[in-house]
Chains A and B, each alone.
Chain A
């Protein structure tokens, strides 16, 4: 079957690539573009390890057809840092020991960033709700919640 040309924005950069028919966005990003930050965790939309944003909305890349991002703005955890400068959220994850094995972390960061972009001062309950689709097997979640709240607090008082 013919490959499908897709042009879209990936972490702020215009990209054009060919997708296989039926290929999901996770495989397209990982194999096609070499962006290894979204992870395969379940392939069924139940773990959040592949979370990306499309036009600012969080999406599970394993459930999105690659060709449907034509003309859209796709962002992953790989685009969070500005060169060597980490995003304040990444700094907060480090300060609060919110990553252990690191595998769920990119998806968790994307979910948290999307929350803070739309709701800069979330409550604890709103943070929990925002990451409840992201499974973490290492941390017990508390350091992640605290990290996100700390960024929200910094912004709220800035």
Chain B
């Protein structure tokens, strides 16, 4: 019998009433009195020198309040990078400046050059066309390997080259890995591309800046996954506004998927301009602007080599990856191909020797940063593809080869610096075989063949690292931020609770799930708990939501703060019942004295805390409000096994997914409905990457995929039904809820199974195809079959 409340239940989402009635409060729904509008004039060339930016005519256009250029921002800082990677020679990465508006050069299509603030959006846009602009176009670098050649055009003139860093991990293993591969019984090599993706939350980015001349207070409303991070980065590093004079509000946010983590130029501009023109200033991104200004994802080119001994045990793994940074370093970009990628290269396997080399490269393209999974999908894809290829070369069953090399004892220290606390990879594989009816595949393949279709089965495993931490470790790795989370639990006099969390919900359902945790701890109804998030003015300094961290890190902070509340409430209850504190028990929302029938209700204790008439004021402060900051001692390590069954039409190359199954181990699950929804959404994005999506530049750096007509988003008729299961549970050992995180699993786990399945289908028909790069469009599949 499923629970109907507390941890493990699936109550209806309380967010839904406002979302379903169209009364959500998204940033574009915020309109301030006297608001002006900004339009950004963006570069339409990938690389060029600005020789003239004449704004006089534009400034004289109707309704124009002021026109801004890069010169207006010479006195303020550039957009900061939040992670410094140290290269294999011990040197810091090359870190170019990133002005709010272009200064001297433009470096990608979409780079903002000037901004017009006017009474209406239409007037701002019209005036931007009157800006006289001369750009001396320079040769652009788009391809990463070309960008690293001697004499290649430099994206940043003041840097030595287009190489951001050359990272080796673990550098001390390099020679041992080379030797092991040289001496191995079998080496499987695969070269592949993990294509550039665009996150595309349905809500485009929006920023509204406001300034109160009377108080000197700045407010920024923005579509962010982490308002406190934006306040710190923009306040301290760009505009020089102390936190107590700067409020950042991220209200309802219409999806993030990583791309709303970062601090963007438009946020700093609207905050700056609101003071400069003494009016609220609003910017709403058009979709095409979103394609050319939201940080992109992925874009890795990799060669991977897997060495096996004569008994098919993995003995060494070596990878060589080029990772595109784009034209500037987005906020957390350097961490993605390194600490979020190299540390995952062991996957679910006990490969003893691993060496990962990553060259991060500047090109004249939109900056690349974290997108759902962020480094982990890239790691999983190459590893699970090369294992599949090895199984084919060796003529062994791909599931058996994986099982043979599974890590089975925990905790397990990998050769890539992380220690998995728990997992049971055979259990999720067993579950996958059951829910995916893998035993029935052969019959289904025959049935497909009878209809002239090629059927393929692809299986893969994945491991993820969520809730990146602890802060002191990530500091050593180059993070310029802490990675704790915060919660303040405020109990009101009549017993209701308000929880102010540093996490941010942009579709995850925190307002529903977090109260389940507190209700379970205190034994009260969830309706007594309200969640507040997204406003730096009323939440403690917190790091926000990304990397599947909210429950594991933010939820743990809520647990810690609630424990403090319960401890204090027990002391008050002990006083009210004239009993010893150690005898007080809390159950079902009432405090009782062990072994007696004495009890006081939760509400009696909370009232006593705020109306302290009968109260030990000399021993206990009045009130009932506690704050906790939780800094995890380790990552969490969700894992799972995925299977995809495809049909390929040999006439057209069209791939249809017939079955998609996911068996995940997320540790304990607070709300199974929300967890299933997260997996579904991740699968949709992973399948989108495998079959449909891809950001395309031409050789001159023109962005060819800047609309939904050119960039293929998955639609309702593109996706199969999903079979998902998260009943395999190995609880995390180091957080109080035993939870691991589920937000990115689907996007990490699904692309390799789709490609493995298509390769299997083609090989079943005797085609000698070992790999096809994503997206597996009909044209690419057809070409591979007939090539």
Contacts and interface: CB of A to CB of B under 8 A. Distances in A.
Per CB-CB distance, the 9 closest pairs between chain A and chain B, nearest first, are A37-B22, A102-B19, A103-B254, A101-B507, A140-B684, A46-B708, A100-B507, A140-B680, A42-B287
A142 B721 contact: yes
B200 interface: yes
B21 A137 contact: no
Interface string A115-135: 000000000000011011111
B695 to A, nearest CB: 15
B20 A139 contact: no
B155 interface: no
Nearest to A134: B716
B717 interface: yes
B507 A132 contact: no
Given A40-B204, A93-B16, A139-B680, A77 B708 contact: no
B23 interface: yes
Interface stretch (A2-10, A64-72, A78-86, A150-158): A78-86
A31 B31 CA distance: 9
Contact of A141 (B26, B286, B676, B719): B719
A101 B253 contact: yes
Contacts of A99: 13, 15-16, 19-20
Interface in B15-34: 15-24, 26, 28-29, 31
A97 B204 contact: no
B202 A140 contact: no
A105 to B, nearest CB: 5
Given A94-B12, A102-B24, A137 B680 contact: no
Contacts of B12: 94-95
Contact of A135 (B24, B286, B507, B708): B708
A140 B683 contact: yes
A103 B20 contact: no
A37 to B, nearest CB: 3
Contact of B719 (A42, A97, A101, A142): A142
Interface string B107-140: 0000000000000001000000000000000000
Given A94-B13, A100-B681, A141-B719, 11 more contacts: A37-B21, A37-B23, A39-B254, A40-B28, A47-B708, A90-B20, A102-B19, A109-B20, A137-B255, A142-B722, A143-B680
B685 A137 contact: yes
Interface string B22-55: 1110101101000000000000000000000000
A39 B287 CA distance: 12
Between A36, A95, A103, the greatest number of chain B beta carbons within 10 A of the residue's beta carbon is seen for: A103
B678 to A, nearest CB: 8
13 contacts: A43-B286, A44-B287, A44-B707, A44-B709, A94-B17, A97-B677, A101-B201, A101-B255, A102-B18, A102-B24, A128-B717, A140-B683, A141-B684
A132 B717 contact: yes
Interface residues of A, number: 52
B593 interface: no
Given A40-B28, A42-B707, A139-B677, A105 B716 contact: no
Contacts of A141: 684, 715-716, 719
Nearest to A125: B717
Nearest to A96: B673
A44 B203 CA distance: 14
Between B13, B202, B253, the greatest number of chain A beta carbons within 10 A of the residue's beta carbon is seen for: B202
B13 to A, nearest CB: 7
A136 interface: yes
B702 to A, nearest CB: 19
A95 B677 CA distance: 13
Interface residues of B, number: 54
Interface in B234-255: 252-255
B129 to A, nearest CB: 16
Interface of A: 20, 31, 35-44, 46-47, 49, 76-78, 80-81, 86, 90, 93-95, 97, 99-106, 109, 128-129, 131-145
Interface in B455-491: none
A132 B715 contact: yes
Contacts of B714: 140
A39 to B, nearest CB: 7
B202 A100 contact: no
Contacts of B708: 42, 44, 46-47, 135
B202 A104 contact: yes
B717 A136 contact: no
B202 A136 contact: yes
B21 A102 contact: no
Nearest to A44: B707
A35 to B, nearest CB: 8
Interface in B659-714: 673-674, 676-677, 680-681, 683-685, 707-709, 713-714
B287 A43 contact: yes
Contacts of B31: 31
A92 B683 CA distance: 23
Contacts of A131: 716
B284 interface: yes
Given A95-B12, A97-B677, A135 B713 contact: yes
Contacts of B13: 94, 97, 99
Contacts of A104: 202, 254
B713 A103 contact: no
A23 to B, nearest CB: 9
B257 interface: yes
Given A40-B28, A99-B19, A137 B284 contact: no
A107 to B, nearest CB: 9
B622 interface: no
A113 to B, nearest CB: 12
Contacts of A20: 122
Between B16, B506, B717, the greatest number of chain A beta carbons within 10 A of the residue's beta carbon is seen for: B16
B496 interface: no
Contacts of B713: 47, 135, 137
